[in-house]
Structure 1
Amino acid sequence: MGGNALSYTTVRLTDRNFHRFAADTVSKLRSLLPGRKISAIEAYRSKSDFGDLDVLVESSDYDPFKAAEALGAIEIVRNGPVTSIGVVVRPELGLLHGNVFQVDLIAIDEPSFDYAKGYFAFNDLGNLVGRIAHAMGVSHRHDGLYFYVRDGDYKFREICLTKDHALALAFLGFSLERFAQGFETLEEIFRFVGNSPFFNSDIFLLENRNAVSRVRDRKRKTYTAFLSWCELHHELPQFPFPEDKAAWQPRIEEYFPHFNHEHAAALQDLSNQRLAKEKFNGALVASLTGLEGKALGELMKRIKTSFGGPEALRSEVLGITEEALRQRILDTHTAMLNDRP
């Protein structure tokens, strides 16, 4: 996944040694986890050396410590779905600094496995493709292509457009045939990105990224190399992206027929949520009870719990009269006072 997560000083492996090491690692994991998809992430073919090995493991519940033991790990570092382990390269040399190689085991659910395999392949290609996806109003993630229904800056709901990596690439304007051929060099990867009809170098510039992404991508050698490559190729297309990303919805509906129904349902739910918040909110409860601060928060929690959950709360609040809602607030307040010693 990039970066050294281990306390040991790790070694870089030559192309030949890396592929031998990767094949042995995958073989051991498949013996430990029979019947599950396990795959080393593909790299461009001329890459001369490697600082780590990324392996996808189809499972959200496998035991990474048993996997690490099967690989002879001398160190284990957990970080969410990624388990970084240190493996001795040449056992006869012992635990010397520089004799340890990092393996990152990436747990992924079965429906997302093939998409993740495509997303993580070829260095930072998934991230570069993701910039074009973002400009088109969708999110290219390791687990699928998504559309976010937002209420201002708040992400209200995410709609999975597809977990078919090839379909996602087609939607984003990329050549499926070219991707399937793999890539010999970074230059070929960069050219692949630049050949999208929706390419515009401005969307990749660090000054056009948010603060978190700017800091992250400035550290990525492949990303910064891509920016330098763009500066040398003025012939690249500069697609004029519309300011309103809603302009992409007809294309989204064309490629993903289920989107229209799910999007309409999400918008209706969002509208209902807004109406429910207008009808029931902290200001109303405070005006009826005179509570504020911690006591108001306690009562709000009691009232919400009494409805049985967010969905039930929204449905019931919209379905009862304002008088009935006020009475329920007052009754819950009285019950809270009676519960106090």
Structure 2
Amino acid sequence: MGGNALKNVVTRRYARDEYYLLKERLLNKLEGHIDKYDVPKEFPCKESFGDLDVLMVCPLSINIEHLIEDLFHPAEIYHNGDVYSFDFEQFQIDFILVEKNIFENAIVYLSYSDLGGLIGNICHKIGLKYGIQGLWMNVHTKEFDPTTTSTKLILSTNVKDIFDFLGYNYEQYIKGFDNENEFFQWIIDGKYFCSIYFDDNQLNHAHRQRTSKRPIYIKFREYLNIKDLLNNSINESTEDQNELIRIVREKALIYFNKQQDYDKGLNQRQEKRLFKDKYNGRFFSDIDGKNHMIRVHMENFQRRIAKTDEEFHQWVLNTDNDIIQSEIDKYKYELKQNQSS
């Protein structure tokens, strides 16, 4: 993923033909050791490669570092999260570990250098999120207010369903793209593509910094310029954009049959906020002036009221604020009496 993870060993770029030979040798070595593995799709016309990404579902019984050492005898292994980078015949290999249920989508996301990044940028603008985990939306306590807390609602991990909803030709993806221009046009033909989403003026500083280092993103913008699409982009008002987001999110909930899950998630966020408003550490901050004991007092009070966390949670939600305060005052009074006796 990037070709620059290894710092203590010399690696080089591979020409197309030698890359394909290396890939075949490496994948053959994995046979019989890893049941599910694959390589993201690549442009057949790409002339050289800086690394090889191999996605895999690794059984718990296998120590992946030991497997790498036994099969490939690298001079260096670099572990970062779910990615294990190592050298093999002077070339960087990245083993990317993913869960079985997101394997197919992860392959798609990383295909053609940055398919997922381009689609993800579009999804972000229409109120959705797209990543290795699939398509999802953040359910905020207050709609259109990203400053409020949120929960993650997975819409789908099925590639075809995701592409169908976003208006991408799944059959064309399966067939493959002969070159970058075919791929770029496929992105543009999506239902929710809008050229202004790729206008640098619409990106924050952090996003501009990231995209400036992604070659395929730069080439995509060049393609948009050639097509004169960036110059013809139209700024939408915040109200128009919010209306689009609302419509897309509503359509997504219906399409993926997630309305009930959305309502449940929203209720959970609202309940959590209500719970914190009605019961929090400030009610106990005046006991002995010892802030480090607040959590202890809260736990003791909870055990006084209910046997389980769920029972206490429901008690707080269903009980009037004055009664909660009265019970806390009783707890404080009895605590003071016990301390003075």
| TM, length-normalised to structure 2 | 0.84
For 1:167, which of 153, 161, 171 is the aligned residue?
161
Cα 1:308/1:3, change in 2 over 3 Å: farther
Cα 1:234/1:110, change in 2 over 3 Å: same
Is the Cα contact below 8 Å between 1:273 and 1:314 reproduced in 2?
no
Measured after TM superposition, the shift of residue 71 of structure 1 is 2.1
**Which residue in 1 is equivalent to 2:86?**
85
**Which residue in 2 is equivalent to 1:266?**
265
Does residue 2 of structure 2 align to residue 2 of structure 1? yes
**Which residue in 2 is equivalent to 1:282?**
281
Measured after TM superposition, the shift of residue 73 of structure 1 is 1.8
Is the Cα contact below 8 Å between 2:83 and 2:96 reproduced in 1?
yes
Q: Deviations over 1:5-34 (max 9, x none)?
A: 00123111111111111111112122222x
Structure 1 letter corresponding to 2:20: H
Measured after TM superposition, the shift of residue 104 of structure 1 is 0.4
Measured after TM superposition, the shift of residue 122 of structure 1 is 0.8
Counterpart CA distance in 2 for 1:305 and 1:211 is 49
Is the Cα contact below 8 Å between 1:43 and 1:123 reproduced in 2?
yes
Secondary structure in 1 matching 2:285: helix
**Which residue in 1 is equivalent to 2:314?**
315
**Which residue in 2 is equivalent to 1:197?**
191
Does residue 117 of structure 2 align to residue 127 of structure 1? yes
Counterpart CA distance in 2 for 1:162 and 1:15 is 35
**Which residue in 2 is equivalent to 1:26?**
27
Counterpart CA distance in 1 for 2:225 and 2:93 is 34
Unmatched 5+ stretches in structure 2: none
**Which residue in 1 is equivalent to 2:139?**
149
Cα 1:332/1:105, change in 2 over 3 Å: farther
Secondary structure in 2 matching 1:197: coil
Deviates further, 36-45 or 48-57: 36-45
Cα 1:166/1:275, change in 2 over 3 Å: same
**Which residue in 2 is equivalent to 1:228?**
222
Does residue 239 of structure 2 align to residue 249 of structure 1? no
Counterpart CA distance in 2 for 1:105 and 1:15 is 20
Q: Deviations over 1:220-254 (max 9, x none)?
A: 11111211221221258858663242221332133
Does residue 108 of structure 2 align to residue 107 of structure 1? no
Measured after TM superposition, the shift of residue 290 of structure 1 is 6.4
Structure 2 letter corresponding to 1:196: G
**Which residue in 2 is equivalent to 1:94?**
none
Counterpart CA distance in 2 for 1:60 and 1:214 is 38
**Which residue in 2 is equivalent to 1:216?**
210
Structure 2 letter corresponding to 1:31: G
Is the Cα contact below 8 Å between 1:26 and 1:40 reproduced in 2?
no
Is the Cα contact below 8 Å between 2:123 and 2:129 reproduced in 1?
yes
Structure 2 letter corresponding to 1:262: D
Secondary structure in 1 matching 2:103: helix
Identity score, percent: 24
Structure 2 letter corresponding to 1:246: R
Cα 1:311/1:209, change in 2 over 3 Å: farther
**Which residue in 1 is equivalent to 2:12?**
11
Measured after TM superposition, the shift of residue 76 of structure 1 is 0.5
**Which residue in 1 is equivalent to 2:38?**
39
Structure 1 letter corresponding to 2:176: G
Cα 1:42/1:326, change in 2 over 3 Å: farther
**RMSD of aligned C-alpha atoms?**
3.0
Counterpart CA distance in 2 for 1:336 and 1:184 is 78
Structure 2 letter corresponding to 1:271: Q
Measured after TM superposition, the shift of residue 38 of structure 1 is 0.7
Secondary structure in 1 matching 2:177: coil
Structure 2 letter corresponding to 1:217: T
Structure 1 letter corresponding to 2:317: L
Does residue 196 of structure 2 align to residue 206 of structure 1? no
Is the Cα contact below 8 Å between 2:149 and 2:269 reproduced in 1?
no
Structure 1 letter corresponding to 2:313: R
Structure 2 letter corresponding to 1:178: Q
| TM, length-normalised to structure 1 | 0.84
Cα 1:71/1:296, change in 2 over 3 Å: same
Cα 1:32/1:291, change in 2 over 3 Å: same
Q: Deviations over 1:32-81 (max 9, x none)?
A: 22xx2111122111011100000001137442212311122221001101
Cα 1:65/1:324, change in 2 over 3 Å: same
Measured after TM superposition, the shift of residue 327 of structure 1 is 3.0
Counterpart CA distance in 2 for 1:160 and 1:72 is 39
Structure 1 letter corresponding to 2:30: L
**Which residue in 1 is equivalent to 2:181?**
187
**Which residue in 2 is equivalent to 1:93?**
none
Q: Deviations over 1:117-156 (max 9, x none)?
A: 1111111111001111112211111121111112342442
For 2:108, which of 108, 118, 125 is the aligned residue?
118
The count of corresponding residues between Structure 1 and Structure 2 is 324
Is the Cα contact below 8 Å between 1:145 and 1:163 reproduced in 2?
yes
Measured after TM superposition, the shift of residue 293 of structure 1 is 4.4
